[in-house]
């Protein structure tokens, strides 16, 4: 009897699986036709297309409605209450209804959107990955944008001509652009500054370190010279964000760059993944020396972001990295930004630099959108100074005032706690717009500017973003990198901390080789060759 019932249960489950499978298949179809009929109901659908103007406002004469899916950060309020979207709606005659998803759970919701085919007209601040972009693009759920950019996005087009790495970083192997990135031409917003404790240097009569050896001596003096004068050896000579960030910061002093979003040097068109190279070994040995002599924060691999920020604010830290001085404003006079150090082979490079197309996949248009031209014009505004100012600073007089042609938040506005996050979608990161020197008064105050001037001579000439692979290659890269990256990170950490002796270096190299590092290098080489063309 037991067997009999087991069988019955099995058939039941198979049958019900089939029935319900069928049902939801139908459901999908329904969903499609629904969204179709909705569009027919929009009165301006037919008229809208021809009415899109190539320049000037309003974008369309007949008001238009667009649905956009977006991420909303904890600091933000509802988008419809933001001055930028209220004012821009009047200006453009395009009304945007935002479907807001909290940052928590945003990736799942984004995936479900595509999986259930409940597409909005566009995705705003969507952080699509290159793989997602190619997937949904080649399946026809996202539409190619290159022609639209050409005709309806003068601001973006100009930027892409000025910075060829933008096009290289967002074009799929088939030559399509399925998403638009957030663009950062302001060098200072693309890299963390190196903040050193000036008052400690002065107290100990030390110069700013110019080489890695000098840096070592300075840190040694910080540790032993009691620069904070409390008679106790409690100074923290050097710290960084959790994990291997420190490797990225020091890499440039050892001739190691971070091109194509990976551990990659590009020399004369040749791509070299430097994991496991001699220079890599020298870098890790140097860091190991700092760590084992307690010059480097012993909590480097365990402290939290909050703890790291707190360390910046104590004034008891010798050297650390951050993009701005926001976290130590009360004691900012104690610190000064310095240049990267020259390494043993005279390499001197600021290696940890984000590419100009910094926030990949920030905006995309889907196949259900009936007004792609108008949508493209709508988003392009934010790639110009005027649009970016509106987005980042709000209304003149109410939120900002102009000084020397540059917007600054008003004192009154700054005084209201949490008001900025409610006012602009840039708070929380990843919004599709341009960040240049015209709209950066707040993130680039004089001290940060000076710190960047120190770095500027050592910035890489061009920073290639991570390349876009076709779906199969992307999958292959994923498989290779899963093992390689994990191994690289785990072993590098152990070498730095001293949990693994450098006698094991050969084994490390051999294992990387076994994991097919060469294959990965080949893939990146091909991607680079396509880009460079």
Partner 1 sequence: MKSAQTSAASLTPSQPKRGSGLPRKIAKRYDLYLMLLLPIAWYLIFHYGPLYGLQIAFKNFNPAKGIFGSPWEGFGHFERFFDSYYFWRLLWNTISINLFSLLIAFPIPILLALLVNEIRSKHFSKWLQNITYIPHFISVVVIVGILNAMLSPTGPINMLIEALGGTPTRFLEEAGWFKTIFIGSNIWQNMGWQSIIYIAALSGVNPQLYEAAKMDGASRLRRIWHVSLPGIAPVIVILLILDIGHFMNVGFEKILLMQNNLNLESSDVISTFVYTTGVLKGEYSYTAAIGLFNSVINLILLLMVNRFARKTSETSLW
Partner 2 sequence: MSKQQTLKSKSDERVFDAIVYAIAAVIMIIVLYPLVYVVSASFSDPSKVLSGDVWLLPKGISLDAYTSIMDNDKIWRGYLNSIIYTVVGTVINILMTLLAAYPLSRPDLPGRNGFMVLITLTMFFGGGLIPTYLLVKDLGMVNTMWALIIPGAIATYNLIVMRTYFQTSIPWELQEAAHMDGCSNWRLLLSIILPLSKPIIAVMVLFYAVGHWNSFFPALIYLQNEELHPLQLVLREILMISQSAFEGGSIGLEKQILLAETIKFAVIIISSLPVLIMYPFVQKHFVKGVMIGSIKG
Give the per-residue contact string, 98-127, with partner 1 (x = CB under 8 A; - = no): ---------x---x--xx-x----------
Position among 1, 175, 267, 461 found at the interface with partner 2 (CB under 8 A): 1
Query: 460 touches which of partner 1, partner 2, none (CB within 5 to 8 A by kind)?
Result: none
131 binds, among partner 2, partner 1, none (CB under 5 to 8 A by kind): partner 1
CB closer to partner 2 out of 85 and 281: 85
Which range touches partner 2 (CB under 8 A), out of 19-27, 137-145, 375-383, 479-487? 19-27
Q: In which residue are the tokens 């001293």 written?
A: 498
Residues from 496 through 515 that contact partner 2 (CB under 8 A): none
Query: Would you count residue 330 as binding partner 2 (CB under 8 A)?
Result: no
Q: Whole-number minimum distance, CB 93 to partner 2, in Å?
A: 27
Q: For every residue of 102-161, which 3-state class applies, written as one string?
A: ECCCHHHHHHHHHHCCCCCCEEECCCCCHHHHHHHHHCCCECCCHHHHHHHCHHHHHHHH
**Would you report the helix, strand and coil content of the chain in percent, each value rounded to 5?**
50, 15, 35
Q: Does 331 bind partner 2 (CB under 8 A)?
A: no
10 Å CB burial of residue 443 (0-12, 13-18, 19+) is middle
Show the binding pattern over residues 141-180: x = contacts partner 1 (CB under 8 A), - = does not: x---------------------------------------
From partner 2, partner 1, none, interface partner of 414 (C-beta below 5 to 8 A by class): partner 2
User: From the list partner 2, partner 1, none, which binds 105 (C-beta under 5 to 8 Å, kind-based)?
Assistant: partner 2
Question: Distance between CA 278 and CA 19 in Å, rounded?
Answer: 61
Distances from the Cα of 296 to the Cαs of 241, 303, 336, 347, in angstroms? Answer: 12, 13, 19, 22
Tell me if 301 contacts partner 1 by CB under 8 A: yes
Q: Is 15 in the site for partner 2 (CB under 8 A)?
A: no
User: What's the CA angle centered on 269, arms 469 and 169, to 5 degrees?
Assistant: 35
CB-based contacts of 500, cutoff 8 Å, min separation 6? 491, 494
Inter-residue contact 465 to 258 (CB < 8 Å): no
| Stated length of the chain | 533
Q: Residue 510 touches which of partner 2, partner 1, none (CB < 5 to 8 A by kind)?
A: none
Tell me the C-alpha to C-alpha distance, in Å, between residue 31 and each of 24, 25, 397. 10, 10, 46
Binding-site partner at residue 323 among partner 1, partner 2, none, CB < 5 to 8 Å by type: partner 2
Both tokens of 465, joined, read 């973003």
Cα(133)–Cα(364) distance, integer angstroms: 9
Residue 310 binds partner 1, judged by CB under 8 A = no
Residues binding partner 2: number (CB under 8 A): 58
With CB under 5 to 8 Å by kind, the binding choice for 406 among partner 1, partner 2, none is none
349 binds partner 1 (CB under 8 A): no
Q: Is 230 in the site for partner 2 (CB under 8 A)?
A: no
| Tokens (6 digits) for 472 | 């199969």
* Chain residues that interact with partner 2, rule: CB under 8 A: 1-2, 4-6, 8-9, 12-13, 20-21, 23-24, 27-28, 73-75, 99-105, 108-109, 111-112, 115-116, 118, 189, 304-307, 309-310, 313, 322-324, 326-327, 414, 417-421, 426-430, 442-443
């Amino acid at each position: 009897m037991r067997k009999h019932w087991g069988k019955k249960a099995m058939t039941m489950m198979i049958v019900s699986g089939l029935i319900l499978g069928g049902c939801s298949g139908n459901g999908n179809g329904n969903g499609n036709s629904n969204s179709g009929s909705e569009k027919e109901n929009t009165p301006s659908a037919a008229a809208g297309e021809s009415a899109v103007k190539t320049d000037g406002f309003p974008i369309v004469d007949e008001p238009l409605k667009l649905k956009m899916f977006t991420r909303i950060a904890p600091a933000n309020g509802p988008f419809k209450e933001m001055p930028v979207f209220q004012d821009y709606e009047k200006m453009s005659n395009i009304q945007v209804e935002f479907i807001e998803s909290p940052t928590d759970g945003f990736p799942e919701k984004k995936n479900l959107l595509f999986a259930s085919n409940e597409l909005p007209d566009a995705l705003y601040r969507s952080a699509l990955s290159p793989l997602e972009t190619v997937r949904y693009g080649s399946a026809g759920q996202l539409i190619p944008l290159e022609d639209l950019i050409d005709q309806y996005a003068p601001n973006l087009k100009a930027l892409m001509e000025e910075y060829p790495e933008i096009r290289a970083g967002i074009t799929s192997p088939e030559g399509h652009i399925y998403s638009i990135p957030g663009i950062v031409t302001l060098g200072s917003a693309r890299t963390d500054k190196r903040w050193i404790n000036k008052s400690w240097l002065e107290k100990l009569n030390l110069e700013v370190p110019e080489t890695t050896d000098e840096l070592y001596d300075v840190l040694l003096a910080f540790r032993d010279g009691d620069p904070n004068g409390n008679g106790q050896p409690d100074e923290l000579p050097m710290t960084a964000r959790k994990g291997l960030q420190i490797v990225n910061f020091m890499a440039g002093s050892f001739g190691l760059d971070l091109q194509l979003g990976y551990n990659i040097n590009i020399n004369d068109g040749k791509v070299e993944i430097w994991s496991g190279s001699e220079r890599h070994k020298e870098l890790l040995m140097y860091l190991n020396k700092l760590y084992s002599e307690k010059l480097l924060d012993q909590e480097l691999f365990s402290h939290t972001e909050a703890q790291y920020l707190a360390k910046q604010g104590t004034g008891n830290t010798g050297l650390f990295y951050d993009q701005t001085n926001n976290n130590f404003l009360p004691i900012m006079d104690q610190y000064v930004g310095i240049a990267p150090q020259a390494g043993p082979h005279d390499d001197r490079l600021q290696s940890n630099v984000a590419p100009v197309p910094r926030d990949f996949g920030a905006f995309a248009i889907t196949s259900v959108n009936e007004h792609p031209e108008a949508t493209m014009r709508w988003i392009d505004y934010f790639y110009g100074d005027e649009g970016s100012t509106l987005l980042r600073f709000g209304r003149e007089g109410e939120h900002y005032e102009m000084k020397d042609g540059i917007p600054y938040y008003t004192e009154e506005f700054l005084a209201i706690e949490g008001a900025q996050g409610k006012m602009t979608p840039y708070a929380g990161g990843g919004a599709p717009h341009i960040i240049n020197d015209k709209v950066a008064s707040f993130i680039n105050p004089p001290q940060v500017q000076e710190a960047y001037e120190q770095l500027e001579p050592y910035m890489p000439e061009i920073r290639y973003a991570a390349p876009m692979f076709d779906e199969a290659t992307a999958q292959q890269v994923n498989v290779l990198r899963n093992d390689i990256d994990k191994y690289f990170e785990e072993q590098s950490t152990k070498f730095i901390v001293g949990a693994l002796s450098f006698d094991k270096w050969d084994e490390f190299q051999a294992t990387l080789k076994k994991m097919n590092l060469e294959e990965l290098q080949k893939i990146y080489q091909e991607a680079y060759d396509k880009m460079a063309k």
